[in-house]
Amino acid sequence: MRGLLIGLLVLGAVGCQRDAGDSEEIVVFAAASLTDVVDALAAAYQDAHPGTRVTVSVGASSTLARQIAAGAPAGVYLSASPEWTAFLQEERLVRGGPVTLAQNRLVLLGAPDAEPLVELADLRAIERIAVADPSHVPAGQYAREVLSLAGLWDELHDQLLPALDVRAAVTAVSTGRADIAIAYASDTLVAPHLQVVLDLPEALQPIIQIVGVVTGRGEVRDEAFLAFLADPGQASTWEEFGFRPLAEAP
């Protein structure tokens, strides 16, 4: 049964890969919140390294980490989750330590006609608040941290709508299934039809670091790709997609 489960997980990981070809391949597993920036950086890397193909699979950080543990053929893992990065380290499934690439922050997103919020406590009046599933998704765990710090987590529990990942939470607002989503600042660029109804003050902002690791299956080419992502020359690309380059992080 365990062998069958591992096989299904690996097939599932390969099935959601986003690229194909016959050249030397770098397989990247990236959190859903990193989809657009990693696609752009992968394209730039391929342009600079003819004959190398970067294949990107995206999903919840927890799901991807479990797939790697089950034997999925990823060489690089990218996430905003200290928990799931540590999980891979504890399972001895990485080579070397994590490399910090950029930072993100939390915002509250609403429909174009939504009333701006003055403070986080204004969420008490919002009926449906979409969050990435806080039981295992980093964006949801950061949302829980902020709401707990503000003394609102228990009070708002019945108004929260858990989503598969942070992009799913944003989609819930886009489709009218939720009134507000607690999301990353980088999500504002992929959902320009939504508006930021509250930008959390620095006192409430969790430290959200985007990190990458080379997995135990990784090779020299995977290490080179991760080094490319961390290179200061890529800071403008991270910034273009709504992330804070490390030089600008508070």
Q: Domains of the chain, with CATH numbers?
A: 2-103+207-248 (3.40.190.10), 106-204 (3.40.190.10)
Q: What is the pLDDT of residue 190?
A: 86
Nearest residue to 179 via CA among 213, 156, 202, 152: 156
Asked if residues 68 and 14 have their Cβ atoms less than 8 Å apart, the reply is: no
Asked if residues 15 and 169 have their Cβ atoms less than 8 Å apart, the reply is: no
pLDDT for 241 beyond 60: yes
Percent of the chain's residues with pLDDT above 70: 89
- Least reliable range by pLDDT among 13-27, 86-100, 200-214, 222-236: 13-27
Percent of the chain's residues with pLDDT above 90: 84
CB half-sphere exposure, 140, CA atoms < 13 A = 26
What's the maximum distance between 2 C-alpha atoms anywhere in the chain?
Answer: 55
If DSSP codes are grouped into helix, strand and coil, which group holds residue 152?
coil
Rounded distance between C-alpha atoms, residue 51 and residue 165, angstroms: 33
Mean pLDDT, range 47-51, rounded to an integer: 95
Mean pLDDT, range 152-167, rounded to an integer: 96
pTM more than 0.75? yes
Mean pLDDT, range 9-19, rounded to an integer: 43
Greater model confidence, 250 or 122: 122
Q: What is the pLDDT of residue 232?
A: 95
Q: What is the pLDDT of residue 244?
A: 93
β-strands 76-79, 106-110: how paired? unpaired
Nearest residue to 177 via CA among 115, 131, 121, 136: 131
pLDDT for 93 beyond 70: yes
The pLDDT-based confidence of 22 (bands split at 50, 70, 90) is: low
Backbone conformation region of residue 63, classed left if phi is above 0, alpha if psi is from -120 to 50, else beta:
alpha
Q: Where are the beta strands (DSSP E) in the chain?
A: 24-31, 52-59, 76-79, 94-104, 106-110, 129-132, 160-163, 180-184, 195-199, 208-215
Neighbouring CB atoms inside 10 A of 57's CB total 22
Q: What is the pLDDT of residue 245?
A: 87
